[in-house]
Amino acid sequence: MFRSARLVVLVLLFALGLAACTAAPKGPKIEVQDPWARSSPMAAAMGAIYMKLANKGSEADALVGASTEACKMIEFHETYQKEGGAMGMRPVEGGRIPLPPGETVELKPGGLHMMCMHKQIPFEPGTKFQLTLTFEKHEPITVEVEVRK
């Protein structure tokens, strides 16, 4: 009787230990902050989308894709200085944006950004659309993007 009670306690402790292990924060934890798109005339085929991507986990991750009904395709671009001083933009290397653990990567005007190719809706101030982000490790995240001036 005493022995079996002790066994039950041991089994319970073991089960609690397992539960604690699976509940511990592991891997990348990505938080998307302030997603917005810059308003642009419908005549312009492209539009820019910005946001902050905070990796609050302990593991490196990378943004590898983005999709929305508002664009036929989304490319990740970086801004760079061309010879002679003019600013240009080009797709980021490997089509991925690295997200180091404990860091926040900012997509902003004049820097990294998402390029909406072949806009499907007008990018007018106040317009909102859903955007799904895919990562190397983290599960996909869908956010609402607001168009601003």
Does position 77 interact with Cu ion (CB under 5 A)? The reply is: yes
Question: 62 and 135 in contact (C-beta within 8 Å)?
Answer: yes
Q: With contacts defined by CB under 5 A, how many residues of the chain interact with Cu ion? A: 3
| Cβ proximity of 58 and 25 under 8 Å | yes
Residue nearest to Cu ion (CB): 77
Q: Which stretch binds Cu ion (CB under 5 A): 27-35, 70-78, 95-103, 126-134?
A: 70-78
92 binds Cu ion (CB under 5 A): no
Provide the 3-class DSSP secondary structure of residue 33. strand
Residue number, 40 or 127, with CB nearest to Cu ion: 40
What's the length of the chain?
A: 149
Grouping H, G, I as helix, E, B as strand and the rest as coil, residue 4 is helix
Interface with Cu ion includes 119 (CB under 5 A)? no
The nearer residue to Cu ion, 89 or 131, going by C-beta atoms, is 89
Q: How far apart are CA 92 and CA 114, in angstroms?
A: 10
- Smallest separation, CB 146 to Cu ion (Å): 19
Q: Are 142 and 66 in contact (CB under 8 A)?
A: no
Task: Write down the least CB distance from residue 76 to Cu ion, Å.
Answer: 9
> What's the CA gap between 76 and 136, in Å, rounded?
15
Taking CB under 5 A as the binding criterion, the range among 7-15, 88-96, 98-106, 137-145 that sits at the site for Cu ion is 88-96
Binding site for Cu ion (CB under 5 A): 77, 89, 115
